[in-house]
Structure 1
Amino acid sequence: MRYDFHTHTVFSDGELIPSELVRRAILLNHVALAITDHGDASNYKDLIEKITLAREELEKYWDIRVIVGIELTHIPPKSIPKMARRCKDVGAEIVVIHGETIVEPVEKGTNYYASISEDVDILAHPGLIDRECAENIKENNIFLEITSRKGHSLTNGHVINVARNFDIPILINTDAHGPSDLIDLDFARKVGLGCGMGRKELENALCHYPKELLKRL
C-alpha cells in the first residue's frame, strides 16, 4: 500500500479538488493521503477548515485515510514555530514546512526554524540541509522528505545521506500538484533507489515510517 503526506489541491496551486485527488490516490492503492496546501497567516484557518469538511465526507464512503494538513510556504523563518502551533490549534493533523529547496528563493533559516519546532511534522524538500538542522530534527522527531517532484528532487541524494548519518526517519512524498504527479508503490521504490537508498531504508521509508507518523495523529 502507498502513503503520501504532501499533496496540493485547487485551494492553493494544485489542479484538482480534494475528491478528484483522493479518487486518483485510491486507484494507485493509497491507504493514506495528506492534503497539505500552501498556507501562511492569511489563509491557514480557511485551508484547514476546507480539508476537514472534505475529509469528513470522503471517509464516509471511501476506504482511505485523508489527513488534514498544511504546508507553510515561504513564510518568515522566525514565524514558523508560532504558525505551526496555530495550525495545530485549529485542527491540522500534520504540519509540513516548505524547506530550502535549491530551485526556489526560500529564505535562509527556514530549515533551522522548522527544525526547532515541536509542532512541525515534515520538512519537505530541504535542499542542502546542514548538520545543526539535522541534529535538531532528530531531537524533535521530525521527518525528512525524499521527493519525486522535478527540481526539488535534485538534492535527494544529499538528504538521504544526512538522514542516514543522523538516523532521521524518511518519507517518500510526491508534492503532487496535478493528476499525473501521484505515484504508485513501484515508482516510489524507484525514487528511493535512485537517490541511493538501501533495501532496509526503502522498506522503512515506504512502510514503517509512514505507519509511525500515522500513530501520532
Structure 2
Amino acid sequence: MIDLHTHCLFSDGALVPAEHLRRVAVLGYSAVAITDHADSSSLDFIIPRLVAAAAALNPHSPTRLIAGIELTHIPPALFAELTVQARQLGARIVVGHGETVVEPVASGTNRAAIEAGVDILAHPGLLSREDAELAARKGVFLELSGRKGHSLTNGHVAALARAVGARLVINADAHEPGDFLTAARAEMVGRGAGLSAEEYAIVRRNMEELAQGR
C-alpha cells in the first residue's frame, strides 16, 4: 500500500511526522508521502522539515516517508515558479491542489498545475478533456480521491483518463488517523470510480513508480 497525498501538522493535519509514519506502517504501507498545504509563504518552512523528518525516521521504519508538498489555492500564474522552488527545496512529490467542486479554487488552476509539471493533480473536479489530454502528454498523474467531497467527481476523472490515456493514482488526502486508507478501501475507491480489476492493478503500479522516483 502506498499513498502520495497526506497531511501532518505542518499544515492542517493532526499528527507529527513520526506518529503519521507509525500509523501507516501498522496498516502495512510500503511508502507514504506527506504533502502539506503550502503557498509562497510556507514552502521554505515545510519542505526542509519534512526532508529532515524523512532522513531521521526512515532508518527506523518499515514504511518509507517521502517529503512532498501540495501547492494549494495559489494563483495559477505562480505554479511554474513554485513547482521549481519546491523541487529545489527537496520535495520528491509535488501535488497541485486541483479544482475540486467543494472548494473555491481559481479557474485555470488545473491547467496551470499540469503545465508546471507537478507530479499529481489532486482532486481535479470536473476536469476538461483538453486538460486531461495535456496531463497525458506531460505525464502528470490524475488523482482519484478517497476524501469526502473531493471524491464526488472520481467517476468523471476516471472516465476521462481512460478516454485520453492519462495515468491515475489513488490517494486518501488524509488529515487525521481515521482518514488513512486500507488496501481494501483504496481498491474500493478505484472500483467505485469505475475501474476494472486490471485498471486498478495499473494504478497500483503507477503509485509504485512515483514512490520510487521518475
Counterpart code for 1:194: G
Q: How does 1:23-172 map to 2 (within 5 A)?
A: 23-118=22-117, 120-172=118-170
CA distance in 2, matches of 1:45, 1:164: 37
User: TM (normalized to structure 2)?
Assistant: 0.98
Deviation for aligned residue 1:214? 2.7
**Aligned residues of 1:117 and 1:140 also touching (Cα < 8 A):** no
Counterpart code for 2:166: I
Counterpart code for 2:132: A
Deviation for aligned residue 1:133? 0.8
For the pair 1:8 / 2:18, whether they are aligned, the reply is no
Counterpart code for 1:96: V
Deviations 1:42-83 (A, max 9, x none): 000110011011111111111221111000000001111111
CA distance in 2, matches of 1:24, 1:77: 34
Structure 2 SS opposite 1:97: strand
Counterpart code for 2:49: K
CA distance in 2, matches of 1:190, 1:215: 24
**Aligned residues of 2:2 and 2:29 also touching (Cα < 8 A):** yes
Structure 2 SS opposite 1:180: helix
Deviations 1:163-201 (A, max 9, x none): 101111111100000110001111111111111111111
CA distance in 2, matches of 1:136, 1:215: 23
Deviation for aligned residue 1:89? 1.0
Q: Which runs of 5+ in 1 are unaligned?
A: none
Deviation for aligned residue 1:215? 3.6
Deviations 1:150-169 (A, max 9, x none): 00000000000111011111
Deviations 1:1-24 (A, max 9, x none): x00000001110001111111111
CA distance in 2, matches of 1:171, 1:76: 25
Q: Which runs of 5+ in 2 are unaligned?
A: none
Percent identity over the alignment is 45
Structure 2 SS opposite 1:41: coil
State the number of aligned residues. Answer: 214
CA distance in 1, matches of 2:27, 2:104: 33
Partner residue of 1:192?
190
| Match among 196, 205, 209 for residue 206 of structure 2 | 209
Q: CA RMSD in A?
A: 0.9
Structure 1 SS opposite 2:100: coil
CA distance in 1, matches of 2:181, 2:136: 28
CA distance in 2, matches of 1:106, 1:56: 33
Counterpart code for 1:159: V
CA distance in 2, matches of 1:132, 1:167: 12
CA distance in 2, matches of 1:205, 1:57: 30
